[in-house]
Structure 1
Amino acid sequence: MDGPRPFKIPESVLVIIHSADRQVLLLERVDRPGFWQSVTGSKDTVSESLVDTAVREVAEETGIVIGSPQVPLAHLRDWNMRNVYEIYPIWRHRYASGVMHNTEHVFGLRVPRDVSVTLAPREHSRFEWLPWREAADRCFSPSNAEAILMLPRFAS
Structure 2
Amino acid sequence: MQKPYKIPESVLVVIHTPELDVLLIERADKPGYWQSVTGSKDREDEPLAETAVREVFEETGILIADETSGEQQGSNRVSRSRLVDWQLSNVYEIYPVWRHRYAPGVTRNTEHVFGLCVPRGIPVVLAPREHTAYRWLPWREAADQCFSPSNAEAILLLPAHRRC
TM-score bracket, normalised by the shorter chain, equals over 0.9
Matched residue, 2:130: 123
CA deviation digits over 1:6-64, x for unaligned, max 9?
00000000000000000000000000000000000000000100000000000000000
Equivalent runs, 1:41-52 vs 2, <5 Å: 41-52=39-50
Matched residue, 2:87: 80
Matched residue, 1:38: 36
Partner SS for 2:110: strand
Structure 1 segments, 4+ long, off by >6 Å, are none
Equivalent runs, 1:66-145 vs 2, <5 Å: 66-67=64-65, 69-70=70-71, 71-145=78-152
Distance 2:157 2:144 in 1: 13
Matched residue, 2:63: 65
Please identify, of 64-73 and 115-124, the stretch whose mean Cα deviation from structure 2 is larger.
Answer: 64-73
Structure 2 counterpart of 1:27, one-letter code: I
TM-score (norm 2): 0.92
Partner SS for 1:152: helix
Matched residue, 2:10: 12
Q: Tell me the matched-pair count.
A: 154
Distance 2:132 2:120 in 1: 20
In structure 1, the gaps of 5 or more residues are: none
1:84 Cα deviation after fit: 0.1
1:4 Cα deviation after fit: 1.7
Structure 1 counterpart of 2:11, one-letter code: V
Structure 1 counterpart of 2:90, one-letter code: N
1:114 Cα deviation after fit: 1.0
Identity over the aligned pairs, expressed in percent?
A: 66
Partner SS for 1:57: helix
Distance 1:32 1:113 in 2: 27
